[in-house]
Amino acid sequence: MTVADCFPHEDKFPHEEIAERRKWILRYAKKGGVGAEFGVFRGHFSAVIGRVLKPKKLYLVDPWEKLGERFNWGNGNYTNNNQLTTAQAKADALRRTQHLDNIEIIEDFEENFLTSLTEKLDFVYLDSSHHYDDVVRTLPMIDKALAKGGVIFGDDWYSNPKHYSGVCRAVNEFVKKADYEIVAAGYDAQFCIRRAGDIEYTHQFGTPALDEKF
């Protein structure tokens, strides 16, 4: 598949701009660790994670074509009114991340990946399903795979119960139940949690944990 095949349309959604805005949340993970992004789509944020955190290993996990030909999320610019195929999204993600060292592309569901994983993760960026039940099911699985001092961060932190609040609700419940704490949450719907008191690595605002300014 060529680049032109990945982009058979004019891209009207500001994917790159949004991915750049979200990078502030990455300051809470250590650089050079082992991490994963669950829900890669076209790889816009994968490229930012790779550039900013320079992971020793970065797993990019997305079922893509296992979901079928299309994402079927309805009409909207995000998928060019459902014209974007899962194969095109995957090809675009591969193209967008091919310059990164130490990445492993996993075309599978996060639950399968976690079940077969044998090493610990320093961070997981959770941006797959945003449904409450899915997040409730996934967070304890991530917890089992998380290294000491590791963080879970992710997207779609909307606290208004009338608007798409499944992630926020599931994360808040998990934090209490599993003795985690919220490290940061808010801007651009990002959140970050870690085990309570697990401050193996803590980046405070203003320290040089990241080269990039925010």
Ligand X SMILES: C[S@@+](CC[C@H](N)C(=O)[O-])C[C@H]1O[C@@H](n2cnc3c(N)ncnc32)[C@H](O)[C@@H]1O
Burial class (CB in 10 A: 0-12, 13-18, 19+), 76: exposed
Out of 79, 85, 97, 128, the residue judged to bind ligand X by CB under 6 A: 128
Segment contacting ligand X by CB under 6 A, of 35-43, 94-102, 174-182, 205-213:
35-43
- Using the minimum distance from each CB to ligand X, give the nearer residue, 28 or 202: 28
**Beta bridge partner(s), residue 182:** 193
Considering only 5-13, 123-131, 159-167, 189-197, which stretch makes contact with ligand X by CB under 6 A? 123-131
Residue in 7, 39, 11, 1 with CA at minimum distance from that of residue 130: 39
Residue 10: how many other CB atoms lie within 10 Å? 7
* Amino acid identity at 107: E
110 binds ligand X (CB under 6 A): yes
Binders of ligand X among 48-107, rule CB under 6 A? 61-64, 67
DSSP state of 209: T
By CB under 6 A, tell whether 45 contacts ligand X: yes
For residue 152, give the nearest of 168, 165, 171, 166 by alpha carbon.
171
Residue 4: CB minimum distance to ligand X, A: 21
* Residue nearest ligand X by beta-carbon distance: 39
Q: Which stretch binds ligand X (CB under 6 A): 4-12, 125-133, 182-190, 194-202?
A: 125-133
Q: How far is the CB of 71 from ligand X (least distance, A)?
A: 6
The answer to whether residues 183 and 123 touch, using CB atoms and an 8 Å cutoff, is no
Q: Which stretch binds ligand X (CB under 6 A): 3-11, 51-59, 127-135, 142-150?
A: 127-135
Q: At a CB cut-off of 8 Å and minimum separation 6, what does 188 contact?
A: 18, 21, 22, 24
Q: For binding to ligand X (CB under 6 A), which residues are involved?
A: 19, 38-41, 44-45, 61-64, 67, 109-110, 127-129
